[in-house]
Amino acid sequence: MTQVPPRVAIAGGGLAGMAAAAALGSAGFEVDLYEARSFLGGRAASYPLPNSGEAIDNCQHILLGCCTNLRDFYARLGVEGKVRFDRTYYFLEPGGRRSQLRAAALPAPFHFLGSFIRLRFLSASDKLAVARALLAILRERNGRTDLDQITMLEWLKEKKQPPRAIDRFWRQILVSAVNEELDRMAACHGFQVFWLGFLTGSRNSEMGVPAVPLGELYCLEAWKRLPQVRLHFRTPVEQIVVRDGRASVVVAGAPQEADFVISALPLDKLRQVAPLLPLSELDCSPITGIHLWFDRPVTDLPHATLLDRTVQWFFNRAGGRYLLLVVSASRSLLELSRAEIIELAIRELAEFLPAVRQASLERAHVVKEVRATFSASPQAESLRARPETLARNLFLAGDWTRTGWPATMEGAVRSGYLAAEAVARAAGCPHRFLLPDPI
Ligand SMILES: Cc1cc2nc3c(=O)[nH]c(=O)nc-3n(C[C@H](O)[C@H](O)[C@H](O)COP(=O)(O)OP(=O)(O)OC[C@H]3O[C@@H](n4cnc5c(N)ncnc54)[C@H](O)[C@@H]3O)c2cc1C
């Protein structure tokens, strides 16, 4: 590195921008991160509720043990201990019958074998069919070249999966993980979830749930470890201009001094501030979060996935009284009012948790994120942008860029690390930030 550290301007303080800032800041770069809002985190953030002031997450965010780069980012901020990992997945059928999928001490891919055989919501023939398809994932993962061109549903039909196995196993796990329906999801993403999350290292499948509101993971105290990173809140980047092949960010009407620029903006925002950049359009997929506060505990489970209904998950946020329900790829809810969504959520929840029928609802809050993530379809993969652009000092990050991952916190952090690596290369001091998959 030269004596005067290179300066990097980063637009956007979501996970992609924060990860790029943390990586470059720890490698000796001077970083200015510009965030339009008064807090960090973007789509993985918490904010105070208008009437109570209580901090809630926009929606439940979970990670898997295999999210190595996200965990590395948390470690850079010293907050990795604030995520709790759980080995058990609970499945509930309407009526309340429970099944558990729990990783045992056996080596992968056999660590789920015992609990998989005991699942009560699939028949023996369903389980045999699923096992055959899981083995096919191991076999076909490296050999097939069409997995980013076909949908996961096409692949499952090719493998003759029975309708109940598709609905209760494949759809139940994948729609939440990838935020897309099976008939719109590129098969490569379904493969990756099962291969990396469930068929390799036995700790890869552990479910990480932040034990604090998301905003606490990136609080100002944590950033004190990285003094080279300056955070500018309520400071929207108005334009990214390119002159003579060099980019700069315009803030409050003035171009800012920087050797390199990283855009970590969502695609639609980047199009607004840099309309001349050649960028492909990507479709979006919505997520709806439903926060319910009851007057008494309605469950003793920490979380569970709910079979055969609209609501896919609940997370127990406080002693069984405050539940956060999640519906991924929630197109069917977009036309419903908030009151209708709450009514549907309570009705469905009561089918799984009988205690809901006796409980009174004290408060409810619905978060409809219409543009929650890009749609991880077969068409999307080739349209996702690489970090490098036509301007030699401008690099792109964001969950929508080409990371190989669907739009997730891990994907966003990967994109930030990849953009940071591209900056380091361009500055003449190559650096490796991206960690390999834990296999
Ligand atoms: C409801 C919901 C639930 C989710 N659940 C999960 C989950 O359980 N697990 C998981 O892994 N992923 C989940 N995701 C996906 C995950 O949140 C995203 O993939 C990830 O946070 C995206 O990060 P990002 O940095 O790419 O973009 P963003 O988080 O969108 O960050 C972009 C930032 O840029 C800022 N910005 C915009 N315009 C400007 C401007 N002009 N100047 C400066 N700043 C600007 C925004 O305010 C924002 O802070 C979920 C997403 C949603 C919406």
Identify the band that residue 214 occupies on the pLDDT scale cut at 50, 70 and 90.
very high
Q: What is the pLDDT of residue 3?
A: 72
Pairing of strands 284-294, 322-328: antiparallel
pLDDT average, residue stretch 397-421:
97
Q: What's the CATH number for 284-374? A: 3.90.660.10
Fold of 103-199: protoporphyrinogen ix oxidase, domain 3 (1.10.3110)
> Euclidean distance between the first and final Cα of the chain, in Å?
33
Distance 413 CA to ligand 1 centre (A): 11
The pick from 409, 413, 414 for probing ligand 1's pocket by mutation, whose C-beta has the most ligand atoms within 8 angstroms, reads 409
Look at residues 82, 104, 308 and name the one whose alpha carbon lies nearest to residue 212.
82
Residue ranges, CATH 3.50.50.60, the chain: 7-58+213-282+378-426
Nearest ligand 1 atom to the CA of 61 is 8
User: Each residue of 224-270: pLDDT tens digit?
Assistant: 999 999 999 999 999 999 999 999 999 999 999 999 999 999 999 99
Residue ranges, CATH 3.90.660.10, the chain: 284-374
Identify the band that residue 92 occupies on the pLDDT scale cut at 50, 70 and 90.
very high
Residues 397, 387: Cα–Cα separation, whole Å:
6
Distance 268 CA to ligand 1 centre (A): 12
User: Each residue of 327-379: pLDDT tens digit?
Assistant: 999 999 999 999 999 999 999 999 999 999 999 999 999 999 999 999 999 99
Residue nearest to atom 4 of ligand 1 (CA): 61
Q: Write out the two tokens for 207.
A: 């479910």
The pick from 18, 43, 374 for probing ligand 1's pocket by mutation, whose C-beta has the most ligand atoms within 8 angstroms, reads 43
User: Each residue of 35-76: pLDDT tens digit?
Assistant: 999 999 999 999 988 778 888 999 999 999 999 999 999 999
Domain 7-58+213-282+378-426 has CATH 3.50.50.60: yes
- Phi then psi for residue 127, to 5 deg, are -65, -40
Distance 371 CA to ligand 1 centre (A): 10
pTM over 0.75, yes/no: yes
Distance 212 CA to ligand 1 centre (A): 18
Q: Write out the two tokens for 13.
A: 């303080």
